[in-house]
Structure 1
Amino acid sequence: MKVLKILNNNAFISYDSHGKEVIVMGNGIAFGQKVGKEVTPTGRYKIFSNTDSETNERLKAIVAEIPEEYMKITERIIFILEKQYDKKINDVVYISLTEHIHGAVERHKKGIEVTNPMLMDIKRLFKDEYEIGLSAIEDIENEFGIPFGEDEAAYIAQHLIYGQLDYMTSITDVTKLMQEIIDIIKYTFRTNFNEESIYYNRFVTHLKFFAQRVVSDQTYSDENQDLFDIFKAKYLESYGCVCKIVAHIKNHYDYDLNSDEQLYLMIHIEKISTKARLEH
């Protein structure tokens, strides 16, 4: 691809195969390059297409206005999320997270400390993102000498969570519904769950996207009625728990769970409840 304009050492503007403008980003990818030169990107890089012109313009502004060290931290954070945790994220996080980190550093320099009211919820319900947030504040300290704490790690985690959800969805609403469902399950089975277990973490991941659909009123396919009937008859206690969740969501969110949604909830509930019984 041909270099049309160099934004900084880590980004340049080019055209894709359809003649549309794109931004190519990667560590040192534009270093030593010249306008008009053909370049074959290697190593770790990201191409931002022009499907959203507003996003691209914001990205150009960030590259021009914010020191490139901030974008490098963002790029590493997202790389960890996608490659090590196998989670997909919206490209707009490259913008929002870079702006956030830059703003947090500038506020700290002015002596402004910000607490995160969702810290405990983030730590409990979004452990992967929170762990990445902790890694990110280490990077920030290494790069800028600023020692952020858990509150900032949780704020970074929130950007990663939003990037996996519909941006119109409130993370507060999603977290609230997730906790309500977990409380119903705990009450039904009269037990606490091992929050470090793989079964629980898989359930929380499923619950995150399930809660998003509910609070944003998105419908879900309904194709497994026969399988639902089989599991309903086999796992009576888990199905009874699902019925409580169905009633709660209908009463408080005016959302009707179809058989597919109930089926997947039932499967996860059966796994984590069985594991909890074996551990006690």
Structure 2
Amino acid sequence: MEVIKKINNNVAVCIDDNGRELIAFGRGIGFGEMPYELDDLNLIDRTYYGVDSQYFGLLNELPENIFDVTMRIVEYARSKITCELSPNILFTLADHINFAIERYKKNIMIKSPLFYDIENLYETEIDVARQAVKLIQSELKVHLPEGEVTSIALNLINAEEQCCIPGGDYDSDEVIDDVTKIIEKKTGRVIDRRSFNFSRFATHLQYLLKRKETNRPVSSENMRMFETMKDGFPQTYDCVLDILDYFREKIQWNPNDEELLYLMLHINRLCTREDCNQ
């Protein structure tokens, strides 16, 4: 196996004997001058094929223990879920778990408005997500709230490459693009649609749109947080109001305040990482 590009000391881009590119994890394989031939394959702990290069940067941004736990979660998920999972799931899920832990440390606890829909439709993914939350608690000493079960399950569902929920009578990609343009207009910045941060934001929007198709009411339990966000982030709230008007006109949907709260949180996250507010 040829090691061709260092990502960090313990992760590298490699080429196998069949000429296929992969990401390899193994202690010390990132040392040395590139490229070089790795003869001792016992040094490699795990390999991942087909990973999008936009996610490579996360390997230097996220703590190693987050990746270690996420690897175990993904391996467990693949043993339980019949659909093929995207090779990017390790990175998207690790980023989500890291973000969830950051929220936990800041005492931001929010119950997912999608919980009952997902619990009824995706029992296997919910069961895997519950085990993931238990593993995070035992290995990382972080007791994530119950709502994270739904969020982790959504990450798994999004990574399922052959098991899709049918969409509505509109083009969801067009809706996501239109919403992004609204955010750009309000913030005066251009959002990189090829970035990982935008990908995560688009994923959130996809599942809000899919939830619309279930046409099920959701009880709001986060109104205090919603009022706090409205007061603390007036620009984001103003942006969400424009998006709300767009939803009503374009797809005849009137999201409730809890769903708007989630939208505000993800817009804030996108704008913080994409430097929209500066």
What's the TM-score once normalised by structure 1's chain length?
0.52
1:121-160 matched pairs, under 5 angstroms = 121-160=117-156
Partner secondary structure for residue 12 of structure 1: strand
Give the distance between the partners of 1:136 and 1:12, measured in 2 at CA: 26
Task: State whether residues 8 and 68 of structure 1, in contact with CA within 8 Å, keep that contact through their aligned partners in structure 2.
Answer: no
Rate the CA distance shift 1:39–1:14 in 2: closer, same or farther, 3 A.
Answer: farther
Contact 2:69 2:136 in 1 (8 A): yes
Paired position in structure 2 for 1:77: 73
What is the aligned partner in structure 1 of residue 14 from structure 2? 14
Instruction: State the secondary structure of the residue aligned to 2:144.
Output: coil
Is the 2:27–2:44 Cα contact (8 Å) retained in structure 1? no
Show structure 1 runs of 5+ residues with no match. 181-251, 253-280
Q: Distance in 1 between matches of 2:101 and 2:75?
A: 22
Offset at residue 48 of structure 1 (A): 2.9
* 1:77-116 aligned within 5 A: 77-116=73-112
Q: Mapping of 1:1-280 within 5 angstroms?
A: 1-5=1-5, 7-8=7-8, 11-17=11-17, 21-25=21-25, 29-31=26-28, 34-35=31-32, 36=36, 37-40=38-41, 45-49=46-50, 55-56=52-53, 58-165=54-161, 170-175=206-211, 177=213
- For residues 63 and 173 of structure 1, what CA distance do their matches in structure 2 show? 30
Q: Distance in 2 between matches of 1:157 and 1:122?
A: 8
Q: Deviations over 1:195-234 (max 9, x none)?
A: xxxxxxxxxxxxxxxxxxxxxxxxxxxxxxxxxxxxxxxx
What residue identity is the alignment partner of 1:22? Answer: L
| Offset at residue 75 of structure 1 (A) | 1.7
- For residue 57 of structure 2, give the secondary structure of its aligned residue in structure 1: helix
CA deviation after TM superposition for structure 1 residue 21, in Å: 4.8
Q: Which amino acid aligns with 1:171?
A: Y
CA contact (8 A) 1:133 1:157 kept: yes
**What is the CA–CA distance in structure 1 between the aligned matches of 2:13 and 2:78, rounded to whole Å?**
24
Q: Secondary structure at the match of 1:47?
A: strand
- Report the CA distance between 1:45 and its aligned residue: 2.5
Is the CA contact 2:48–2:87 (under 8 Å) kept in the aligned structure 1? no
Q: 1:171 to 1:33 in 2, by over 3 A?
A: closer
Q: Which protein has the larger Cα radius of gyration, Structure 1 or Structure 2?
A: 1
Distance in 2 (CA, whole Å) between partners of 1:128 and 1:140 is 18
SS of equivalent residue, structure 1 residue 89: coil
Q: CA RMSD in A?
A: 3.2
Number of equivalent positions = 173
| Closer/same/farther in 2, CA of residues 33 and 63 from structure 1, 3 Å limit | closer
> Aligned partners of 1:43, 1:30: CA distance in 2, in Å?
7
- Residues 30 and 116 (structure 1), Cα distance of their counterparts in 2 relative to 1, 3 Å cut: same
User: What's the CA shift string for 1:49-97, capped at 9, x where partnerless?
Assistant: 47xxxx22x3321111111111122222221222233331112222211
Aligned in 2, Cα 1:83/1:62: closer, same or farther, shift over 3 Å? Answer: same
CA distance 1:121–1:41, change in 2 (3 Å) = farther
Distance change in 2, residues 1:41/1:60 (3 Å)? farther
Residue identity matched to 2:113: P
- 1:6, 1:30 within 8 Å by CA — same for their partners in 2? no
- Unaligned stretches of 5+ residues in structure 2: 165-171, 174-202, 217-251, 253-278
SS at match of 1:132: helix
Distance 1:159 1:12 in 2: 25
1:160 Cα shift? 0.4
* Deviation larger for 125-134 or 87-96: 87-96
- 2:132 is paired with a residue whose SS is helix
SS of aligned partner of 1:106: helix
**Per-residue CA shift, 1:30-54, capped at 9, x if unaligned?**
357853332425886233347xxxx
| Identity %, equivalent residues | 24
Aligned pair in 2 of structure 1 residues 7, 129: CA closer, same or farther (>3 Å)? same
Distance 1:129 1:4 in 2: 36
CA distance in 2, matches of 1:17, 1:61: 26
Measured after TM superposition, the shift of residue 22 of structure 1 is: 3.1
